Amino acid sequence: MTPDRNKQIGRVARALVRAEVDHGLAELVGDPDRPQGWTLLLNGTAQSHVDLDDPTHLEFEYVRRLGHVVDLLPAARPRVLHLGGGAWTLARYVAATRPGASQLVVEVDAGLVDLVASRLPADGLGIDVTIGDARAALTRIPPGTADLLVLDVFAGARTPAHLTSAEFLSAAAAVLAPGGVYAANVADGGELRFARTQVAAALARFADVAVVAAPAILHGRGFGNLVLLGSAQHLPVDELTRRAAADPFPARVLTGTDVRRLAGAATAPADRTARPSPEPPPGFFGRPPDQNEL
């Protein structure tokens, strides 16, 4: 959904494409440093960055961390379910780095899918896209068939409440293959009250849980993205820790007692009490200024 840092802020973008889609105004902003690089925004909130010339380039910090998870999957041709499409950034990465992977992207906004398909085509990459609600789609996925399930769904800048509950997490876990990995983009800040509930839900459902995030976020100094991981088997935390530490903006990987300490006294929300993720600070994930319309 949203970048931890947006290098385009304060720069002049190459071009701007605007289109009304089902859930508001979508914009494609050219990356001034990459001839075929584009940032997708929905209602002013950055959703994705893609480079059509180099799909292995992952601009947003949290997407790079998800890329590490993809790299460490044991299956040569993993089966990946993406809940939330955006511009299909991670799906393009999987297609480039794991040829033959089976991928399904679930996106609720049909107009957005049409825009991405026409302006940022992914023909021949083996990415299947279906229109629908992410949670409803889980009921149509055969149990035990996903090696990786990625939750990256945002309505504006917030994850909808029905995708933050213990019941949702149980439904997501049910579609994972043995050893499959659940990976969620969790946006929060400050005391991380929302993130703690998501960690608590994962601890109640998975044998192994990890959290990948920038130290500043973990220490309550800002708003940003945490990557929450869960699996019935051991996660590759040692290699993930090395890769996250070597990133341009390094991240910590919390496991074991550190994850339980992060959850603290938080409890997993039920459907009846679940809330969407918190609003980010005003303008935090806004679009770059000084753009030129096509």
Mean pLDDT in residue range 81-96: 97
Would you mind telling me the total number of residues written for the chain in this entry? 294
Model pTM above 0.85: yes
HSE (CB half, 13 Å, CA atoms) of 83?
32
Question: What confidence tier does 10 reach under pLDDT thresholds 50, 70, 90?
Answer: very low
Mean pLDDT in residue range 138-152: 97
Cα 200 to chain centroid distance, Å, stands at: 19
Residue among 276, 47, 70 at smallest CA distance from 168: 276
Mean pLDDT in residue range 69-94: 97
CATH for 55-263 is: 3.40.50.150
Give the pLDDT confidence score for residue 283 in this predicted structure: 60
Judged against a pLDDT cut of 80, whether residue 261 lies above it is answered with yes
Mean pLDDT in residue range 267-294: 73
Q: Dihedral of the CA atoms 212, 213, 215, 217 (nearest 10)?
A: -140
**What does DSSP assign to residue 17?**
E
Question: What confidence tier does 15 reach under pLDDT thresholds 50, 70, 90?
Answer: low
Question: Which residue in the block uniquely carries the two structure tokens 């089902």?
Answer: 22
Span 169-212, pLDDT tens digits: 999 999 999 999 999 999 999 999 999 999 999 999 999 999 99
Judged against a pLDDT cut of 60, whether residue 7 lies above it is answered with no
Give the pLDDT confidence score for residue 8 in this predicted structure: 39
What CA–CA distance (Å, rounded) separates 180 from 235? Answer: 9
Percent of the chain scored above 90 by pLDDT? Answer: 87
Q: Are 61 and 38 in contact (CB under 8 A)?
A: no
Judged against a pLDDT cut of 80, whether residue 9 lies above it is answered with no
Give the pLDDT confidence score for residue 173 in this predicted structure: 98
Mean pLDDT value across the chain: 91
Question: What confidence tier does 14 reach under pLDDT thresholds 50, 70, 90?
Answer: low
Judged against a pLDDT cut of 50, whether residue 289 lies above it is answered with no
Give the pLDDT confidence score for residue 234 in this predicted structure: 97
Give the pLDDT confidence score for residue 285 in this predicted structure: 58
Mean pLDDT in residue range 11-40: 88
Give the pLDDT confidence score for residue 85 in this predicted structure: 87
Give the pLDDT confidence score for residue 156 in this predicted structure: 76
Strands 102-107 and 127-131 turn out to be: parallel
Give the pLDDT confidence score for residue 155 in this predicted structure: 85
Question: What confidence tier does 282 reach under pLDDT thresholds 50, 70, 90?
Answer: confident
Give the pLDDT confidence score for residue 13 in this predicted structure: 52
